Chain A
Amino acid sequence: DQQVKQNSPSLSVQEGRISILNCDYTNSMFDYFLWYKKYPAEGPTFLISISSIKDKNEDGRFTVFLNKSAKHLSLHIVPSQPGDSAVYFCAASEVGLTFGQGTILTVHP
């Protein structure tokens, strides 16, 4: 049973445009959410997080939105850059982290 889902396996975006990555969860006990970026054969790198008491958190080009009633969060990257191309995982925290399946983002020059 997948408690955290990223339904889009891949996303392709033009440089300078907005990238929107989506994530849904089912466990209402999750109260902290995070986005990680990962390159092949490397560990994930933390990007941005949000507590369940907030609905938005912004850090530079990255903004995470949380809709608790819909159990949905999204990561917005604007403007997108070719260096952003990687696999993006959303994760939810109860004790350890539960990860989504990941979305491969490709930003074309």
Chain B
Amino acid sequence: GAVVSQHPSRVICKSGTSVKIECRSLDFQATTMFWYRQFPKQSLMLMATSNEGSKATYEQGVEKDKFLINHASLTLSTLTVTSAHPEDSSFYICSARDFGRSSGRGEQYFGPGTRLTVT
């Protein structure tokens, strides 16, 4: 299947600093990417939809000024957690749709995730 990578896989930062997470589609172009967050022992929650060349669409309750999303190209979306706090510690996962390969519009390919720990 299609490959989506994330970098870094794990990051530890101090409270108040900003962290950037990259999501790349390696063998297909993705006009739309999605960012999810998973708390321990809970389901994945959609944070925002990242659209190439336009502003991201945030889900209700997600602070757009805190979680900055930039979809710079058809293969790269970045999530920046600004002024991180311990409560932002979580597992962040991106996904992308490969419209050229997907059998249906809902099929998404996920990155391996980034574990963020804010101390």
Give me the interface of A with B, judged by CB distance under 8 Å: 32-34, 36, 41-46, 49, 51, 89, 91, 93, 95-102
Is the CB of B108 closer than 8 A to any CB of chain A? yes
Cβ–Cβ < 8 Å partners of B63 in chain A = none
Q: Which of B70-89 contact A (CB under 8 A)?
A: none
A-B pairs with beta carbons under 8 A, tally: 63
Partner of A34, one of B6, B91, B106, B111: B106
Cβ–Cβ < 8 Å partners of B95 in chain A = 43, 97
Contact B93 A43 (CB under 8 A): yes
Partner of A49, one of B46, B107, B113: B107
A36 to B104, CA, bound (A): 15
Is the CB of B109 closer than 8 A to any CB of chain A? yes
Interface of A is mostly: strand
Is the CB of B67 closer than 8 A to any CB of chain A? no
Contact B107 A34 (CB under 8 A): yes
Give me the interface of B with A, judged by CB distance under 8 Å: 1, 4, 6, 34, 36, 42-46, 49, 57, 59, 91, 93, 95, 103-113, 115
What would 8 A/B residue contacts be, using CB atoms closer than 8 Å? Answer: A34-B107, A34-B108, A43-B4, A51-B104, A96-B34, A96-B36, A97-B34, A98-B46
A43 to B34, CA, bound (A): 13
Cβ–Cβ < 8 Å partners of A101 in chain B = 42-43
